[in-house]
Structure 1
């Protein structure tokens, strides 16, 4: 980590309280009247909350739970229960929440990303802030307690998932403290994250326009996939991804019969049409019918005497077990050598395992899986530097510096709907570059402009609808939106999706201003918002050129008109795409 961050490393170490050994990093800050700003990752256990940010007081203490099962673990701790996995409910998509309920702002225990900010005042009333960022994707607790002499923070690995029998390498966190408030600390977090992001892959342009077959679910076959590829190429899509359903069995990673030459044939199909090939994999999973599960049942995870069924009724492969790591790397390496350009990994890649016959410490199976998964990704990166790696795991979890260091992009929301994606863009945009925040778009029962507008702002845009079945009118409007997206997309690591300054009932997201002062606004007007007054106050001073990006029509605005706010047309339910560019730059 560069010294220019003014951040220091806080390494975990063992302590021996009366209740038994724990692994912690202990920090103290001279903070009073403190609050903590928390980012909640997406979770299907909390699917209607979305990816949100809460600012919470620390009176009475707070415990933030981060990691692969954060929402379920926080609920369990809040209910006074042990960590557990939900029993098989017979559905195709078993979730994790086994005890209690999803945390709410008033609760002491919160599910959170692997970073947070703290802010308060010192003894003399001066404002002081701190940024904390875990360099660890396993389960971790950030325990915050207010005392008379200040704030004490303990970063802990919980005994439920980390009770090693032998010596295990310990993780750490990055901390920066200084004068200021939460906004200052968020600036420090962005700097830490920026320095953690790996060098960009040399493959497809980031952030690209992508088309993904999940609009059909698993109901895909060679005929439908080829029609989808043709429709995508006609729209100028740059990466086409074949989602779940191409594989014969999860875990084996060979194509279903009918795909000529398997994955290599899919790659040719994409490349011949000028597109890169993306492929969905659940690398840490194996279906009960898979060859790998039948031939190597000892490779599957066990935890507390059970062999869990997780997403889509698949078992988890233990990536903390050396033979499994070798196998998974070989299968992924083979896919890339067959022509895969974009690796879309999903499902559970960091499982919990206490198997005594595996090569990992039985008391630290989750930690071993963290290290195993990232060692696989690091080796893939060394072997295939052009490969783009997307974190899609059930909505992009986990969120921490270690995840960021091994990926090129992550999703923040798994709903594939414009409203949820807008919330995710704004949440992730507080910390991550816009090119890092992939947004999925299914076909929705909305007006086309209302659906499309949000996707023109931000990172990789993934079309997931029935592209071959779209009407010519809809395809033309999507093409216009794609043109807008291309004009405004950027791989600039400083660019973010932000919440614009607006008044009135309107849902909006905007690009952060470019170096020339230009800015793009995407706003949606719902049925309930029709007819209400609404204005946009762009981050611009002086006269600007206002452009309706849908039509290309332009109008000059004076500095006074900009300062008074730009009226937004709310006459009908729709999506607005407006941009401003300072006159001086034209």
Structure 2
């Protein structure tokens, strides 16, 4: 890496980063005059968009006229500390002991390795703090990653009250910004939400020790004067952090919206001791010229990159026995379910909660991860062998971070749970949370999982987390040297990394009471995640619609169940449930022991059809067609070479007037096609021109009994 020091304070430097299709240009801002606070400089964004967007005056250039605030307060800064920026929000708040808060740094140099990485260094001698801003492109994607190193360089510690990863600036017009973000609650996660911001601030986040159910660490920004879809420049950011976090969008004077994000320490501030360096989580920055739908494909390509060669392994169709048996797990009943699942074409059988000693309900057993001999009288291994003898892989549910108060583990090590000295410990879901930041707790979890996966033929692990930390303390720990949130995250990621290296054959599913812990750090170490505990058809459609804006189909576990709707109770067919679930990683969670033979046969046909298009869903280019509020919506999956595509089409309610009054067919306009080519429906044999499918759309005739279709087309 070459180092490019800044020659004179007033000189303007510019550095370019290039991804597959975009450019990200950074300059230095600030007046650079004198020896006072104004001598400091900060990094500014000058261009972000398709290749060539840097060739001309910056759309973020501004007059620098200010009234009652400083130039730093309106600067298009990539990262700026409180002190230089006294009135509007900065990314860093720091102070030396016994001194006022604030950093007045100077630029110390730049290091760039071609168009793929950049490091900008700033230093303030008074608190003794060095700040290095890092940029790196991700090969094969349109992602620029941002993170920051903070080093205490003096003889005293530095107190950090805010330590964000970075900020991005987006030019908008008089209409302000359109912010698209994902909101919700348990059983209603990933609801695509739009907020128009002309002035003021929108802040989302979580202090639950996970990203949480209420907000996802993801946001898209557009000029509100332009449409959400089509050829609209669209910018996105996502924070790679499975702990406490925040994301703040602020409409600033002069025609920009500025979005910053970072982790939030549980202790509200951290002390950085001399010689120590703290590295913030990575912030992924994405751009697409093709609206929200185009931005979704940028994120999908990035997450396929995170999966690496594990994406080459098909995500198998699973059956999970929870809804059929709940805690009443016993070998014969489970085997009967496994037989029926195998007959339908299922490839993987997962026993959920209730398989281990002491787990007769939700009041006991967590922490003692030994198969219950009463449930498996002929031995657990015999049971696993019987399942595998049906041609099925075998999986288990675990909740490694939780412990039941009556368990052997808790009786032996009550000091391993989060607690506050002299305060009662609240039970949430009748359980406590282990302090996974403790090395000895990490070792226990590693040994437990190694034993399970080493002794038994388990090839699938569903990792759940069903309660946030409440009395989050560690008696006896030095509060100035403790960072509970980051230590728990490090322990969690250490265990996941160990599973990847020590048990590479095991597929890991991430779950936290549904979609409570979905972020890029988790997605980089798991194979799939569970977006929500709500599997009702129309409720799930809305959840998956939001999820697929931010995350790739190959990461989305989606089950077919008999669950009625919680928020939208309208009934839907088994076909609707299957077609909807095919937009991700297909699973079955219904009580198939109660299904009649004709329902199981119908399910077998859908499973076979899913296997046929699974490669398109997990590896292809995704287009979201319509929204759940439309009468007809769907998802299109197209092979990389355009030779084949699948469309999952769903009717959400309103029909065309049939059979009483005349009506037209419902249609979905397909995208990304070769308009000069012809396409054949593999089922009906009907042929369509590419221009027709793009302009008039693929037709569907809905009725009260026919509310979903899977259509597969081949380019001729």
TM beyond 0.5:
yes
Task: Determine helix, strand or coil for the equivalent of 1:172.
Answer: coil
For the 8 Å contact 1:453–1:523, the answer to whether it is kept is: no
Give the equivalent residue in structure 2 for 1:77.
none
Aligned-pair distance for 1:154? 3.5
Q: Does 1:243 align with 2:381?
A: no
Query: Which stretch shifts more, 536-545 or 224-233?
Result: 536-545
1:57 aligned to which of 186, 196, 207: 196
Aligned-pair distance for 1:190? 3.9
Q: Does 1:544 align with 2:679?
A: yes
Give the equivalent residue in structure 2 for 1:10.
147
After superposition, the C-alpha distances for 1:306-365 in whole angstroms (9 at most, x for unaligned) are: 42323x311111111111111111111111111210110112487463213469977521
- Aligned residue runs from structure 1 range 180-329, under 5 A: 180=289, 183=292, 186-200=296-310, 205-215=313-323, 216-248=325-357, 249-258=365-374, 259-260=376-377, 263-302=380-419, 305-310=423-428, 312-329=429-446
Report the CA distance shift for 1:207/1:235 in structure 2 as closer, same or farther (over 3 A): same
1:366 aligned to which of 466, 478, 485: 485
Task: Determine helix, strand or coil for the equivalent of 1:197.
Answer: helix
More helix by share: 1
Report the CA distance shift for 1:565/1:11 in structure 2 as closer, same or farther (over 3 A): same
| Aligned-partner Cα distance in 2 for 1:219–1:244 | 9
- Aligned residue pairs, count: 533
Report the CA distance shift for 1:444/1:7 in structure 2 as closer, same or farther (over 3 A): closer
After superposition, the C-alpha distances for 1:417-443 in whole angstroms (9 at most, x for unaligned) are: 222332233222223332211102222
Give the equivalent residue in structure 1 for 2:177.
35
Give the equivalent residue in structure 1 for 2:216.
113
| Aligned-partner Cα distance in 2 for 1:360–1:191 | 41
Report the CA distance shift for 1:339/1:163 in structure 2 as closer, same or farther (over 3 A): farther
Report the CA distance shift for 1:495/1:351 in structure 2 as closer, same or farther (over 3 A): farther
For the 8 Å contact 2:632–2:667, the answer to whether it is kept is: no
| Aligned-partner Cα distance in 1 for 2:437–2:170 | 40
Structure having the higher Rg? 2
Give the equivalent residue in structure 1 for 2:542.
423
Give the equivalent residue in structure 2 for 1:85.
none
2:251 aligned to which of 127, 146, 151: 146
| Aligned-partner Cα distance in 1 for 2:415–2:554 | 40
Q: Does 1:573 align with 2:705?
A: yes
Query: Which stretch shifts more, 471-480 or 177-186?
Result: 177-186
Aligned-pair distance for 1:233? 1.6
For the 8 Å contact 2:366–2:399, the answer to whether it is kept is: yes
| Aligned-partner Cα distance in 1 for 2:610–2:234 | 37
Report the CA distance shift for 1:8/1:560 in structure 2 as closer, same or farther (over 3 A): closer
Report the CA distance shift for 1:366/1:261 in structure 2 as closer, same or farther (over 3 A): farther
Give the equivalent residue in structure 2 for 1:83.
none
Query: Which stretch shifts more, 1-10 or 466-475?
Result: 1-10
For the 8 Å contact 2:182–2:215, the answer to whether it is kept is: yes
| Aligned-partner Cα distance in 2 for 1:560–1:502 | 22
Task: Determine helix, strand or coil for the equivalent of 2:615.
Answer: coil
Task: Determine helix, strand or coil for the equivalent of 1:489.
Answer: helix
| Aligned-partner Cα distance in 2 for 1:513–1:179 | 18
TM-score (norm 1): 0.80
Task: Determine helix, strand or coil for the equivalent of 1:292.
Answer: helix
| Aligned-partner Cα distance in 2 for 1:503–1:65 | 26
Q: Does 1:454 align with 2:579?
A: yes
Report the CA distance shift for 1:582/1:271 in structure 2 as closer, same or farther (over 3 A): closer
| Aligned-partner Cα distance in 1 for 2:371–2:301 | 42
Aligned-pair distance for 1:218? 1.7
1:387 aligned to which of 506, 521, 532: 506
For the 8 Å contact 1:299–1:324, the answer to whether it is kept is: yes
| Aligned-partner Cα distance in 1 for 2:546–2:315 | 18
The structure showing larger relative contact order (alpha-carbon pairs under 8 Å, at least 6 residues apart) is 1
Give the equivalent residue in structure 2 for 1:102.
none
CA RMSD, Structure 1 to Structure 2 (Å): 3.6
After superposition, the C-alpha distances for 1:381-429 in whole angstroms (9 at most, x for unaligned) are: 1111111110122113222221111111112221122223322332222
Report the CA distance shift for 1:114/1:561 in structure 2 as closer, same or farther (over 3 A): closer
For the 8 Å contact 2:239–2:520, the answer to whether it is kept is: yes
For the 8 Å contact 2:633–2:649, the answer to whether it is kept is: yes
TM-score (norm 2): 0.67
Give the equivalent residue in structure 2 for 1:157.
263
Query: Which stretch shifts more, 207-216 or 506-515?
Result: 506-515
Query: Which stretch shifts more, 138-147 or 537-546?
Result: 537-546
| Aligned-partner Cα distance in 1 for 2:233–2:633 | 32
For the 8 Å contact 1:413–1:420, the answer to whether it is kept is: no
For the 8 Å contact 2:633–2:668, the answer to whether it is kept is: no
Task: Determine helix, strand or coil for the equivalent of 2:238.
Answer: strand
After superposition, the C-alpha distances for 1:154-191 in whole angstroms (9 at most, x for unaligned) are: 43433545534565743222354778575465554444
| Aligned-partner Cα distance in 2 for 1:257–1:494 | 42
Q: Does 1:131 align with 2:239?
A: no
Aligned-pair distance for 1:8? 4.1
Aligned-pair distance for 1:272? 1.5
Query: Which stretch shifts more, 23-32 or 132-141?
Result: 23-32
Give the equivalent residue in structure 2 for 1:174.
283
Give the equivalent residue in structure 1 for 2:497.
378
| Aligned-partner Cα distance in 2 for 1:179–1:256 | 52
Aligned-pair distance for 1:538? 3.0
